[in-house]
Chain A
């Protein structure tokens, strides 16, 4: 299986290397895998995720995402890579001045798809996340669970090869969390996307044993 993400002796740190968060991590993640990364608060889960969409550059070692060396990636290549990723945030990160429909197709707007394609794709995605009737509303008019479903729909809008989810259910109730997990699992099954979820605890609803990494004391260890 080809690796979508590969880390070799990866070290991530803040303040010009003064505060290391991840130290000498080695792991490889293949296409179509569903991965959990867990760890206590402040262990570096979100930091690791940020490095995967280029928000943070590796201080040492190598990190390869979708064939790009994240240490050497140019600004132009980084933007290209990000256009092919789906990212889900704990705090949703929706654009409040835009309607739900426009938020969902943000990746298509960025890539320059026509309005017709955007419209068709928005309808399909909003039906998929069961928010069709809310398409003309603004994010602030939706509940947290609904906003996160918009966030997931946005992440799926360009059929990404990799979905990075940072505590996607951190702010949601049990019902909404269940809906979001279903959507992410379906994306992995139906789109063959790699889904990497950072969470403080693996939800009990999962009855399949997905690969699981734990971050402890700066190290990234796979749990078998």
Chain B
């Protein structure tokens, strides 16, 4: 019973760390995808007397990705309604061109202001509309969600690592007598820590398998869970095989550091033995 408890006291915080890591991976994929969507849907509207081209605008600001000319026939048809035929040509001649400017990524608000300023400084540009208000509200919401989750995951990490350290102290108490005796009789560090390595390695595998079960369940049954319904069309953003390697490597690193910590701590205390 005590042994099962000992195992769970290591498996649970390790599982929490792995869940945290998977959340970071998933959230990074989601934010990247969402950022891409926001970026694709967003464009700055520019009216200019001068012809604007993508290479020219890119040379002005590296954040500018592309520029497309808006067909002004519809706008013109509204303007020339009821105008005498002789004047239509003059109106069309003096009417500016309209452009949609796409950015390379979903930039921050300050950066957006800088882009606007640079566009306005181009000779011939009459006006630049960044739709700042809607951009700001979307960007703020996006930043809030991103930062909240990062804070939550950081807290989860710290608490889990503290629990692991606590469990290491329990291990040290439970194994120090055996490890100290083995050291006195000349056992090298790896042999003295063999039992701990075996135990921690098994725990790491169990934690990884449990994590795999949790995220495979979410991936395959996500559409039935309200909170992850939004991902049903993007299930590829959930668990990916490469994540498994990241979990295994993380678990093994934590196991290795934990056991060595116990072994060195026991060895240091051996002078009082």
Interface residues, chain A, CB within 8 Å of chain B? 53, 55-56, 78-85, 87, 93-98, 106-107, 110-111, 154
B residues in contact with A93, CB < 8 Å: 181, 184
Rounded to whole Å, the gap between the CB of A213 and the closest CB of chain B is 23
Report the stretch among B109-117, B186-194, B200-208, B256-264 that lies at the interface: B186-194
- A78, A83, A98, A106: most-surrounded residue (chain B CB, <10 A): A106
Contacting residue for B184 out of A87, A97, A111, CB 8 A? A87
Known: A79-B188, A98-B178. 6 other contacts (CB 8 A): A55-B271, A78-B186, A82-B184, A82-B185, A93-B184, A107-B186
Contact B186 A83 (CB under 8 A): yes
Rounded to whole Å, the gap between the CB of A138 and the closest CB of chain B is 13
A residues in contact with B185, CB < 8 Å: 82-83, 87, 106-107, 110, 154
Expressed in whole angstroms, the Cα–Cα distance for A139 and B184 within the complex equals 18
**B177 contacts the other chain (CB 8 A):** yes
A residues in contact with B191, CB < 8 Å: 110
B residues in contact with A87, CB < 8 Å: 184-185
Contact A106 B188 (CB under 8 A): no
Chain B residue at minimal CB-CB distance from A54: B184
Chain A residue at minimal CB-CB distance from B272: A55
Expressed in whole angstroms, the Cα–Cα distance for A56 and B273 within the complex equals 11
What are the nearest 7 A-B pairs in CB distance? A82-B186, A83-B186, A79-B186, A110-B187, A95-B178, A93-B181, A107-B185
A residues in contact with B182, CB < 8 Å: 95, 106, 110
B171-186 at interface with A (beta carbon < 8 Å): 177-178, 181-182, 184-186
- A110 in contact with B177 given A55-B273, A56-B271 (CB within 8 Å): no
Expressed in whole angstroms, the Cα–Cα distance for A166 and B66 within the complex equals 85
A residues in contact with B178, CB < 8 Å: 95, 97-98
Expressed in whole angstroms, the Cα–Cα distance for A167 and B178 within the complex equals 21
**B270 contacts the other chain (CB 8 A):** yes
B152-185 at interface with A (beta carbon < 8 Å): 177-178, 181-182, 184-185
Chain A residue at minimal CB-CB distance from B191: A110
Chain B residue at minimal CB-CB distance from A154: B185
B residues in contact with A80, CB < 8 Å: 186
- A95 in contact with B181 given A55-B271, A110-B191 (CB within 8 Å): yes
B residues in contact with A56, CB < 8 Å: 271
Expressed in whole angstroms, the Cα–Cα distance for A95 and B182 within the complex equals 9
Expressed in whole angstroms, the Cα–Cα distance for A67 and B113 within the complex equals 78
Query: Could you pull out 19 A-B pairs where Cβ atoms are within 8 angstroms?
Result: A55-B184, A55-B273, A56-B271, A79-B186, A80-B186, A81-B186, A82-B184, A83-B185, A84-B186, A87-B184, A93-B181, A95-B177, A95-B181, A106-B185, A107-B185, A107-B186, A110-B185, A111-B186, A154-B185
A residues in contact with B184, CB < 8 Å: 53, 55, 82, 87, 93
A residues in contact with B273, CB < 8 Å: 55
Expressed in whole angstroms, the Cα–Cα distance for A96 and B176 within the complex equals 12
Expressed in whole angstroms, the Cα–Cα distance for A57 and B184 within the complex equals 14
Expressed in whole angstroms, the Cα–Cα distance for A83 and B185 within the complex equals 6
B residues in contact with A55, CB < 8 Å: 184, 270-271, 273
Expressed in whole angstroms, the Cα–Cα distance for A78 and B271 within the complex equals 14
Chain B residue at minimal CB-CB distance from A80: B186
Chain B residue at minimal CB-CB distance from A92: B181
Expressed in whole angstroms, the Cα–Cα distance for A96 and B181 within the complex equals 11
Rounded to whole Å, the gap between the CB of A57 and the closest CB of chain B is 10
Rounded to whole Å, the gap between the CB of B139 and the closest CB of chain A is 58
Expressed in whole angstroms, the Cα–Cα distance for A96 and B191 within the complex equals 18
